[in-house]
Amino acid sequence: MKTIERYIIKRAFVAFAMTLAAMTGVVWATQALRQLDLVTSKGQTIVQFISITMLAMPFLIVIVAPFALMIALILVLNALSSDSELIVINATGGSRFLVLKPVMLFAAFVFALSASMSLYFAPLGLAELREEISRVRADLIANIVKPGRFISVEDGLTFHIRNRSGNGILDGLLMHDTRDKDITFTYQAETGQIIEAANRTLLVMQNGTIQRRPRADGDISIVRFQSYAFDLSSLIPEASAPVFKASERSTENLLAPSANDKYAVANPDKLKTELFERFSQPLYCIAFALIVFAFLGRARTTRQNRSVAVLGAIVGCIGLRTTGFGITAITGGNIHLLALLFAVPLIGIILAFWAILRDEHMPMPKWMRVIIDNLSALIDRIADRINERSTGGVS
């Protein structure tokens, strides 16, 4: 690999890694807020909350990676142009393909990363996320024992605790049991803890009392104890097997779903759409790289031309991806239109590569060129004002 190729790939990798981390972090934060009830109402710790929501990270990377690649290549190619490095390469007789080669090598790396996430890691993470959410919803501690509230587990059995510490200790425990038709039991304890022993779930209470009151006329009896175990096994809600959506199924499952799978039998169109999306999404990495290079891979000398080129690359990439999202929306259950999911990025790749071969700008509609020219002029005016202020208004 030549020095210039290593130089471009290194700069692109650094810019891509920083951009991907920032964009993925922002998207993850917005998605994690939807699962905030894991902490607020389900009683999970912050560590558990983060570990559970991080399972969606591979899926987010699939969505964000092409845009992170776009931003990284725009920064690198624009910097090469601003530092006159592209001009030097052109002046020494170097071809545009001298720069295109490392750009496409890096795009191939991002393509492989996106493909691995799309085909394997993303569905695996989403499936584990579904299982974790189901487990939390069936968690006795999370759903039954909530500090400061009287929770009716079933008819005739009520729990109340004052507080729950981070190590699982229940403070100020009160349990009222009226399930027996002859005797009412009231349990009070300073502390308690739910443990698993001998395939049973036990509530072990420490330093408390048991009040036995006959429903018929009779005296209340109070028994003090140092330690007492209450069997909760019959109260644990069964965690029903989660129903995995199309995005949460492995690629192998989408290719050959089980004949006994009720969801697959009821939603064959969703499985096919998801399968086509998984294979088509990584192609946007190649398309974005070629589009950016088509606009910014040429040596430029004026700031205005670079501004127009940057805006053109951004508009082209966003427009292509928006078209892809639109195709996904309009296909719906029509499996005959699924080929369009591949057609959109492939058309972008072909047009961008054709523009590179012709060594000219990709043609744009008149309205788009007007918008880009106006935005470029606005950027120039803002830059001029900033320069005037930084120099104290002296030209």
Going residue by residue through the chain (395 aa), what tens digit of pLDDT does each one get?
578 888 889 999 999 999 999 999 998 888 777 766 655 545 556 777 788 788 889 999 999 999 999 999 999 988 888 777 777 776 666 667 788 889 999 999 999 999 999 999 999 998 888 887 776 655 655 555 677 788 777 778 888 888 877 666 888 889 888 888 888 999 999 998 878 777 777 888 999 999 998 877 777 888 999 999 888 777 655 545 677 888 889 899 888 888 888 888 888 888 888 899 999 999 999 999 999 998 888 776 555 567 788 888 999 999 999 999 888 888 766 777 788 889 899 999 998 888 887 764 445 556 556 665 666 666 566 556 655 655 554 44
103 SS3 class: helix
Helix 3-32 / helix 97-116 crossing angle, nearest 10 deg: 30
Instruction: Give the pairing type, strands 157-160 and 151-154.
Output: antiparallel
43's torsion region: left (phi>0), alpha (psi -120 to 50) or beta? left
**Distance between CA 303 and CA 376 in Å, rounded?**
9
Which residues does 151 contact at the CB level (< 8 Å), separation at least 6? 144, 145, 158, 159, 160
For residue 379, what pLDDT is reported?
56
Cα-Cα-Cα-Cα dihedral sign, residues 322, 327, 330, 332:
negative
**Distance between CA 273 and CA 278 in Å, rounded?**
9
